[in-house]
Amino acid sequence: MISNRSGMRVLTQLALTSVITLALPTAGEALPLPKTEKTVTEIPNAEQRSGGLWYIDALNIGSATSQGLRGRGVKIAVIDSGINLRAAELQGANITVHESTCLNQDTGEPFPADSTDAQISGHGTSVVAMLVGNGRAIDGGLGTVGIVPEAEIEFFATGPLVTPEQESRGWLPRCVTGKDEEGEYTGDSWKDSADAAMKSGASIVSASIGGSSLAFKDALLQAAARNIIVVGAVPNPGDDSIGAGTYPGAGNGSVAVNGVGRDGVILGKGTDLGGLQQWGADNVAVTAPAAWILAVGDDWNPVRRDGTSLATPLVAGSLALAQEKYPRATSNQLLQSLVRTTDGGTHPGIPPWNNKSGFGALSVSAMLAADPLTFPDENPLFVSSPSDPRCTASDRTEPPDSMDQCQWASAPTKQDVQKARAALNTAPRSELPGKARDNANQRVSEWVAGGLALALVVVAGVTSMLLLLRRRHRR
């Protein structure tokens, strides 16, 4: 969901340098990108690079830096096609790459998760750089600056998008993971990556990709049950960007991120990305910078790009900053803080919602200033009633009669989450997500510490009594 600032008509998520036409995606297939007309093919100069970092000031990341907040101690899982760990912007970052299960349907061999092939890793490299980029490009000049450079990144590779040319040669339109007894390809690497991310111990999952609910349904259910924050991209606008779904961003309770330009206007309105608002708008949560962003190009040189893919990690990273500052806050309280501090201020309650900017523009300084422990421990983005305005889709004038008609909120439902949580209650602590496990360990540590303290008091009391008796005996 990144759009290259080139003169080409870019339609795919990953192949930003070629023009192809996509069929409707199936489970685990990426959504195509919109067209773009503006031409900036040369490597940006120093002034242009500095301008491409406007998101730092727009989000007031300096307010976090001044408090020493850099994402330290927070684990973020990123789900994307692949990554290039040799990219200059990622040097020094704490990144663990999990191998892709996506198979090359010609050879049967898995695609590499860590690759210098931009078709595989260009998109994911730019996304991760928004989180932990060191600010240095391959030519030694200014590069992408990450907003949580000390965060721990768990990268789950889905494998590259299947192209129409490959489909014409008989490839299935998804990243397959194995063969059945008859030798036919089966599985879906997107599902594998999403499921694994929820078990990685990460408290925040960021996905700048979009597919159908089939690939993400189980993962979204586990995220809700385990209180893991899922941040996903709203599709870019564009007259050729038609897809079959935008999960995980469209999942119930997910943080769906829309993009804005430097002028604060939604992509497609203030930029040249077209004028359409697509699936995911019915549950968009917040907006974040997404236009003219300094990113990593397909030749690994710096480039300026547009897209909600770049806004998504900014929201994930901002939540990580809040978690670092308020480690005792629950994931639900962090989400409450996110929506209650939009547009630069703290709202007395949940602010009004609309299908373009959601609850408003992300504000890091306001979120860090508000103590999330004062907010309810409930996910404000989870829809459980048809009266919720997010159930009144753009093609409706009245709210639906039942949750069955609020279709995007069906993955997962409130009942599904309750069952999943009940199942987790019997799970060993090692299977709990990172934040829940840390809280459990903290409670055990506090109990042990309290017990030791009590024991020391008793020992001290007994010792004092013995000394007193000895003194009396000597007298």
What are the residue numbers of the active site? Answer: 80, 123, 309
Residue 309: its H or E element: helix 308-325
Residue 322, C-beta contacts closer than 8 angstroms, at least 6 positions apart: 329, 334, 337, 338, 367, 368, 372
Strands (E), 282-421: 284-289, 293-296, 302-306
**Cis peptide bond upstream of 412, omega within 30:** yes
Q: Which two tokens stand for residue 146?
A: 């990450």
Q: Which two tokens stand for residue 413?
A: 């439902």
Computed on alpha carbons and rounded to an integer, the radius of gyration of the chain in Å comes to 24
CA distance 446 to 430: 19
Secondary-structure percent of the chain, ordered helix, strand, coil, rounded to 5? 35, 15, 50
Q: Which two tokens stand for residue 247?
A: 């999960």
The closest of 193, 273, 200 to 239, measured between CA atoms, is: 273
- Contact assessment for residue 355 and residue 276, using Cβ atoms and an 8 Å cutoff: no
Burial class (CB in 10 A: 0-12, 13-18, 19+), 140: exposed
In terms of residues, how long is the chain? Answer: 475
Residue 12: its H or E element: none
- Contact assessment for residue 379 and residue 305, using Cβ atoms and an 8 Å cutoff: no
Residue 330, C-beta contacts closer than 8 angstroms, at least 6 positions apart: 227, 377, 435
The closest of 159, 166, 175 to 83, measured between CA atoms, is: 159
CA distance 70 to 64: 7
253 to each of 175, 354, 433, how far by Cα in Å? 26, 16, 17
The closest of 77, 98, 100, 249 to 189, measured between CA atoms, is: 100
**Cis peptide bond upstream of 160, omega within 30:** no
